Amino acid sequence: MKLKAKLFLIISLVFCVFAFCGYLILHMTLYPGIMALERTEAKRDMQRCWKVLDSEVEHLANFAADWAHWDETYRFVRTREKKFIDSNLQPLTFSQANLNLIYFLDSEGTVVWGRVYGNDFSTPVELPSLISNPLPLSHPLLQ
């Protein structure tokens, strides 16, 4: 073998050994720390997501409780008066409450009235069979 070939082989071998040692050192020292940091950040992000979801659930619960205790709402579910819809269930109601969907169900789970709006709250969105009619009495929404 010529000297150039031997020298190239030795330099290549030394480079490969250094690269492998560097990989091992990084993998054994830095990698666990990076993974721990990633896990910590992922947990923090997940906690933030849960807080946002909890806040949205609280907002919906307050909205639903407010409307559920209102005598006019109770009367509307019983009588289905168009006057209630005209005065209370306009796009402004949806946008002010920051809700895209409002449905009224009676105690048997039958849909009394429901509407869905897009993010612009200007025109209703048609979603056929959004809620099965009627919902089973064991459904969480009826509890």
- Give me the DSSP letters along 20-54: HHHHHHIIIIIHHHHHHHHHHHHHHHHHHHHHHHH
User: pLDDT tens digits for 11-55?
Assistant: 999 999 999 999 998 888 888 999 999 999 999 999 999 999 999
Assess contact for 100 and 116: CB atoms under 8 A. Answer: yes
C-alpha span between 7 and 4 (Å, rounded)? 5
Average pLDDT over residues 108-120: 87
Q: Give the β-pairing of 111-116 and 101-105.
A: antiparallel
pLDDT, position 130? 67
pLDDT, position 125? 85
pLDDT, position 42? 97
Q: Which long-range contacts (CB under 8 A, 24 or more apart) does 43-52 make?
A: none
C-alpha span between 38 and 94 (Å, rounded)? 39
pLDDT, position 129? 65
pLDDT of 78 above 70: yes
Locus of tokens 């789970």:
109
Q: Which residues contact 33 (CB under 8 A, 6 or more apart)?
A: none
Looking at this protein, which amino acid is placed at residue 58?
A: E
Angle at 111 between CA 106 and CA 112, to 5 degrees: 70
